[in-house]
Structure 1
Amino acid sequence: MVAIATAGQQLHHAIIENHLWHALPSYLMVFFALWWAWMNFSWFASAYDNDDALYRCLTFVQIVGSLVMAAGIPDVFRSQDFDIIIVGYVIMRLALVTQWLRAAKHDPERRVTAYRYAIGIVLVQIGWLVANFAHVLSIPLFLCLVVFELFVPIYAEKHSPTPWHPHHIVERYALLTIIVLGESIVGSFNAIRDALAAQSINIPAVFLMIGGLMLMFAMWWAYFDRSEQHHHFKGVRPFVWGYGHYFVFVSIAAVGAALAAAVDVTTHHAHISDLYMGVIVAVSVVLYTTCIWMLYEFECLAGISKWFYPITALIILCIPFICNNVGYSVFAMGIVYTLRLFISNKFIEDIEPKQV
Structure 2
Amino acid sequence: MAADAHGALFRPIVPHQHSRVTYAELFFDLVFVFAVTQISHNLLGHFTPLGALQVTMLFLAVWWVWVYTSWITNWLNPEKTPVRLLLFALTLGGLVLSTSIPKAFDDRGLWFALAYAAMQVGKTVFLWVATPPSRPLARMNAIRITSWLALSAVFWIAGGFAKGETRLVLWGIALVIEYLSPAVRFWIPRYGASSVADWVIEGGHMAERCAGFIIIALGESIIVTGATFAELTWTIENVAAFVSAFVGTLAMWWIYFNKGAEAGSEEISKSSEPGRLARLAYTYLHMPIVAGIIVTAVADELVLKHPGGHSDLRTVLSATGGPLLFLIGTILFKHSFRGFLQLSHGVGIIVLCGIAWFAHDLSPLWLSLLTTAIMVVVAVWESISLRSDTPE
Whether TM-score is above 0.5 comes out as yes
Instruction: Between 167-176 and 53-62, report the one with greater CA deviation.
Output: 53-62
Which of 355, 365, 371 pairs up with 1:327?
A: 365
The percentage of counterpart residues that share the same residue type is: 19
Q: TM-score, normalised by structure 1?
A: 0.84
Which residue in the other structure is 1:184 paired with? Answer: 221
Count how many residue pairs are aligned between Structure 1 and Structure 2.
336
Q: Residue 97 of structure 1: CA displacement?
A: 2.7
Counterpart contact for 2:63–2:287, Cα < 8 Å:
yes
The alignment status of 1:297 with 2:335, answered yes or no, reads yes
Q: Distance in 2 between matches of 1:123 and 1:276?
A: 36
Q: Distance in 2 between matches of 1:47 and 1:298?
A: 23
SS in 1 for 2:209: helix
Q: Residue 342 of structure 1: CA displacement?
A: 2.4
Q: Distance in 1 between matches of 2:259 and 2:83?
A: 34
AA at the equivalent of 1:105: P
The alignment status of 1:8 with 2:40, answered yes or no, reads yes
AA at the equivalent of 1:40: Y
Q: TM-score, normalised by structure 2?
A: 0.77
Q: Distance in 2 between matches of 1:239 and 1:348?
A: 26
Residues 129, 207 of structure 1: alpha-carbon distance in 2 compared, 3 angstrom cutoff:
same
Q: Distance in 2 between matches of 1:297 and 1:130?
A: 39
Which residue in the other structure is 1:239 paired with? Answer: 279
Which residue in the other structure is 1:22 paired with? Answer: 50
Q: Residue 298 of structure 1: CA displacement?
A: 7.0
AA at the equivalent of 1:349: R
Residues 151, 317 of structure 1: alpha-carbon distance in 2 compared, 3 angstrom cutoff:
closer
SS in 2 for 1:266: coil
> What per-residue deviation string (whole Å, max 9, x for no partner) do you get for residues 215-244 of structure 1?
111111111233655332579843222112
Counterpart contact for 2:264–2:337, Cα < 8 Å:
no
The alignment status of 1:312 with 2:348, answered yes or no, reads yes
Residues 58, 107 of structure 1: alpha-carbon distance in 2 compared, 3 angstrom cutoff:
farther
> What per-residue deviation string (whole Å, max 9, x for no partner) do you get for residues 10-54 of structure 1?
22233xxxx432321121111111111111110111112253222
1:86-235 to 2 correspondences below 5 Å: 86-105=113-132, 108-109=135-136, 110-135=138-163, 137-153=166-182, 154-155=185-186, 158-159=194-195, 161-195=198-232, 199=233, 201-226=234-259, 229-231=263-265, 232-233=267-268
Instruction: Between 58-67 and 331-340, report the one with greater CA deviation.
Output: 331-340
Residues 246, 329 of structure 1: alpha-carbon distance in 2 compared, 3 angstrom cutoff:
same
SS in 1 for 2:198: coil
Q: Distance in 1 between matches of 2:335 and 2:128?
A: 38
Which residue in the other structure is 1:249 paired with? Answer: 290
Q: Residue 296 of structure 1: CA displacement?
A: 0.6
AA at the equivalent of 1:239: R
Higher helix share: 1
Q: Distance in 2 between matches of 1:277 and 1:105?
A: 53
Q: Structure 2: which 5+ runs fail to align?
A: 1-31, 188-192
Counterpart contact for 1:274–1:324, Cα < 8 Å:
no
Q: Distance in 1 between matches of 2:373 and 2:153?
A: 46
SS in 1 for 2:231: helix
Q: Residue 191 of structure 1: CA displacement?
A: 1.3
AA at the equivalent of 2:280: V
SS in 1 for 2:194: helix
Q: Distance in 2 between matches of 1:134 and 1:306?
A: 45
The alignment status of 1:287 with 2:325, answered yes or no, reads yes
> What per-residue deviation string (whole Å, max 9, x for no partner) do you get for residues 128-166 of structure 1?
212332547444433322121123342167256132111
RMSD of aligned alpha carbons = 2.8
Residues 107, 125 of structure 1: alpha-carbon distance in 2 compared, 3 angstrom cutoff:
farther
Does 1 or 2 have the higher relative contact order (CA < 8 Å, sep 6+)?
A: 1
Residues 280, 80 of structure 1: alpha-carbon distance in 2 compared, 3 angstrom cutoff:
farther
AA at the equivalent of 2:64: W
AA at the equivalent of 1:99: F
Q: Structure 1: which 5+ runs fail to align?
A: 351-356
